[in-house]
Amino acid sequence: MICGYTIRYVVCKYPQAAHIANFLNEDDAYPKVDINTASVDELEAIPYIGLYTAQNIVVYREANGPFTAIEQIKKVKGIKDKNYQKFVQFLKL
C-alpha cells in the first residue's frame, strides 16, 4: 500500500514518469477523483491541474450545481480542450 501511495505521488508530481508505473493496475496508479465532491487540494493533486484551475472548478460547481457529465468541466474558466485531454483520465462523477 505504501508503494502505491509513493508511486501515485511521483506520478502526480512528475506526470512524465507515468510510463514507469505501466506494470501496475491503472486504477491503482491513477486513482480517479470525483469532480462533484473533490476539494481544491484533491483537484490540485491531479496532474495538469494547478491551484487556479482547482479553485475555478470548485467555484463553478458551487455556482452551477454538480456536474452531470465530465465534459462539462470544459466550461470552467481556464480549462482548454488540450489540457482537458491530459487530465480527463483522472476524473469521474
DSSP of 36-89: TT--HHHHHTSTT--HHHHHHHHHHHHHH-S-SSGGGGGGSTT--HHHHHHHGG
Reading the chain (93 residues) residue by residue, the pLDDT tens digits are 455 667 677 777 776 666 655 545 455 556 789 999 999 999 998 888 999 999 999 999 999 999 999 999 999 999 999 989 999 999 999
pTM of the complete model: 0.70
Query: Half-sphere exposure of residue 75, counting CA atoms within 13 Å on the CB side?
Result: 14
| Paired residues of 34 in beta bridges | 92
CATH of 2-92, one of 1.10.150.280, 3.40.605.10, 1.10.150.120, 2.40.30.10: 1.10.150.280
Segments making up each domain of the chain, as ranges: 2-92
- The rounded distance, in Å, linking the Cα atoms of 38 and 14 is 21
